[in-house]
Structure 1
Amino acid sequence: MPTFSSQDAHIHYQTFGDISHPAIIFSNSLGTNYRMWQAQIDHFKNDFFVICYDTRGHGESSSPQGPYTLEQLGQDVIDLLDHLKIDQANFCGISMGGLTGQWLAIHHPKRFHHVVISNTAAKVGQQQAWNERAALVREQGLQPIAATAAARWFTEHFIANHADTVAELQKSLAAGSAQGYANCCEALAEADLTAQIQTIDVPVLIIAGQQDPVTTVLDAQFMLERIAKAELFEINASHISNVESPEQFNQAVQQFIA
C-alpha cells in the first residue's frame, strides 16, 4: 500500500501502467475513494501512466485534524506529483475533485497539460449547508449520509439496474472516516473560485451530467463562459457520471487529452 507524506497527511495512492507514458491523475468525489475510478483505470492504463489517490480524510489516506482547505487538497496533488517525480500530468477530478482541479489550474498551471473537471462547480453548494452536514456527521456518523447517497449520485434507472454497484459505493461511504468527511465538508463550505476561474489558461474539459441535481448544467455553463480554453461535454447521467456512463466519460476524456 504505497503512501507518502504531504503536509500533515499520509496520502494513499496507486499507479497503473508504464511510467514512460503520459501521466493522468484522478481525484475522487466526497465520500468515495480511488476505486470509484476502476472503469477509467481499466480504460487508460494501456496508453497512460494512471495515478489514483485517496483524498485526505478518505479511503486509506489519513484524516488529520481539520477543517481542511481547498488549498490543502490541491497541494496534496502537487506533492504526489513531486513524490513520483512527474513534472507535468493530465488531471481528472469529479465533484470535490473537480474543485481541486480548478484550484490546480489557477495556482499550478505549468504542471498540467489538460484538466478535466466533472460534475462540479466554481462553488459547490452553500456554506451553511456544508457546515450543517459536517456537524451532523460528527454527531451521527456517516450511516445517515450513506443511506440517502444513491439518490444524489445516480439516476433512478441506474439505481434499479445496478444495485450491486450502488450498494458497494454506499457501503464504502458508510465505512469511511466521519472526521475526514466532515473536514472536507468544511473545505467545500469555504471554497469559492467564482472570481478566480477567469484566470485559468490551461485547456479545460467540463463534463456535466444532464440529470445531476447537485452540480447542474447551468453550473457548467457558468464555468464555460469564464474559462478561456474550456470545452463542455454533457453526459446523460447524474452526479457520479464516470460510474453511471463510463464509456461516454472515457471517450470524452480520451478525445480531449489526445
Structure 2
Amino acid sequence: MDSAIITLGDGTRIRYRLDGPHNAPVLVLSNSIATTLEMWDDNIADLTRYFRVLRYDTRGHGLSDAPPGAYSIERLGRDVIELLDALAIERAHFCGISLGGFIGQWLGVNTPDRLDRLILVNTSAYLGPAAHWDGQITTVLDAPDLAATADMFLHNWFPARLLADEALVSPFRDAILGMRPAGLAGCLAAVRDADLRRTITLVEAPTLVMVGQYDTVCLPDHGALIAASIPAAQSLTLPVTHLSNVEDPAGFVGTVCEFVGVG
C-alpha cells in the first residue's frame, strides 16, 4: 500500500505504511531520530516474506506532524499504541532503532499486553547529560538551516566507506534538511529526558538487543546494560556503526527472523 495518515487523540497526524501479507504476524518498525520510514526500504522485501510490516514517521519527522514543544518517550510510545488501536492490531512484534529503541523499551515496560517479541537496535536506556542535548536543541532551533546538523548525524551513522556512497547517503541527508526544526528539537528533548535504566527491569517480553560494534552514539556498553537489565533478553553484536539495518541489511534481517523464529 501507499502511505496513509491517522490522526491521534491530541490532533497530531502520523504517517504510516503497511506492507506484506494480511494474515502474517505484524512487525512494527520504529525509526531512528532524524530519519523517516523510508530508512527501512531495503529491508521490506525480505521482511514481508514473513511479516505484515507496519512502519511510520515518528512525531516530528517526515510527513507526520511536528507540534511545537518538548516531546517525551511516553508520548512517542503512546503514539504507537494509538496507531495500533486505529489499525485494530492487538499484538505485534516491535523493532526500534536508536530513538525507536527508546520507544520500544517504554512499550515493554508499560504495555506488555501489546507486545510479542521486542527487538532493540543500536539504542540506550539513557543518553545524558542533559546539557549536551540542550546545546543540540539550541543549535537546531537557532541555525539558519540544518546543514551542520545533517553532517553531524551522517558522520555518527555511517563509516567512511559508506559516507563516500552518495547514492546511499543523499536520501538521509535530504530527509534531515527537510525536517522541521521544532520536530527534531522535540525528539531531542525526549532523548534528553529519558532514563529507563531502572524501569526496564520490568520488561517481560522476550527481547533481543542488537549492538553495533563500532557505534559511537549508543555504545556497545549501553546495549550490554539493557541486555543485563531485562530478564528475558539476549544480545548480539553486528560489525556495524549505528544504522545496522542500512549498513548490514542481510545480517539485520537474518537476526530479526532468527529471533522471532521464522525463515
**Residue 7 of structure 1 corresponds to which residue in structure 2?**
9
Tell me which amino acid in the other structure corresponds to 2:172: L
Equivalent residue for 2:163, pick from 134, 159, 164 = 159
TM-score, scaled relative to structure 1: 0.97
Q: C-alpha separation between the residues in 1 aligned to 2:99 and 2:154?
A: 17
Please report how far the alpha carbon of residue 170 of structure 1 lies from its aligned counterpart in structure 2 after TM superposition: 1.1
5 Å-filtered alignment, 1:112-151, equals 112-140=115-143, 141-151=145-155
Please report how far the alpha carbon of residue 158 of structure 1 lies from its aligned counterpart in structure 2 after TM superposition: 2.3
Please report how far the alpha carbon of residue 5 of structure 1 lies from its aligned counterpart in structure 2 after TM superposition: 1.4
Q: C-alpha separation between the residues in 1 aligned to 2:103 and 2:38?
A: 18
Q: C-alpha separation between the residues in 2 aligned to 1:86 and 1:79?
A: 10
| Conserved 8 A contact 1:101-1:117 | yes
Q: What are the Cα deviations for residues 151-204 of structure 1, in whole angstroms up to 9, with x where unaligned?
A: 1001112223x3211122112111111110001111111011011111111111
Any stretches of 5+ residues in structure 1 without a counterpart? Answer: none
Tell me which amino acid in the other structure corresponds to 2:177: A
Q: C-alpha separation between the residues in 2 aligned to 1:107 and 1:178?
A: 29
Identity %: 34
**Residue 240 of structure 2 corresponds to which residue in structure 1?**
237
Q: What are the Cα deviations for residues 86-144 of structure 1, in whole angstroms up to 9, with x where unaligned?
A: 10000000000000000000000111110101000111242111121111101113221
5 Å-filtered alignment, 1:34-73, equals 34-73=37-76
Structure 1: 4+ residue segments shifted above 3 A: none
Tell me which amino acid in the other structure corresponds to 2:155: A
TM-score, scaled relative to structure 2: 0.95
RMSD (CA atoms): 1.1
Tell me which amino acid in the other structure corresponds to 1:5: T
Please report how far the alpha carbon of residue 40 of structure 1 lies from its aligned counterpart in structure 2 after TM superposition: 2.0
Q: C-alpha separation between the residues in 2 aligned to 1:208 and 1:81?
A: 27
Q: C-alpha separation between the residues in 2 aligned to 1:134 and 1:82?
A: 32
Q: C-alpha separation between the residues in 2 aligned to 1:38 and 1:105?
A: 25
Equivalent residue for 1:21, pick from 12, 24, 28 = 24
Q: Out of 49-58 and 138-147, give the one that drifted further.
A: 138-147
Equivalent residue for 1:254, pick from 229, 252, 257 = 257
Tell me which amino acid in the other structure corresponds to 2:96: G
| Conserved 8 A contact 1:203-1:229 | yes
Tell me which amino acid in the other structure corresponds to 2:115: F
Please report how far the alpha carbon of residue 17 of structure 1 lies from its aligned counterpart in structure 2 after TM superposition: 1.1
Q: C-alpha separation between the residues in 2 aligned to 1:123 and 1:152?
A: 17
Q: C-alpha separation between the residues in 2 aligned to 1:143 and 1:58?
A: 16
For the residue of structure 2 that corresponds to 1:42, the secondary structure is helix
| Conserved 8 A contact 2:120-2:209 | yes
Q: C-alpha separation between the residues in 1 aligned to 2:13 and 2:68?
A: 12
Q: Out of 101-110 and 36-45, give the one that drifted further.
A: 36-45
Any stretches of 5+ residues in structure 2 without a counterpart? Answer: none
**Residue 78 of structure 1 corresponds to which residue in structure 2?**
81
**Residue 198 of structure 2 corresponds to which residue in structure 1?**
195
Q: C-alpha separation between the residues in 1 aligned to 2:161 and 2:146?
A: 25
Q: C-alpha separation between the residues in 1 aligned to 2:97 and 2:127?
A: 12
Q: C-alpha separation between the residues in 2 aligned to 1:149 and 1:50?
A: 26
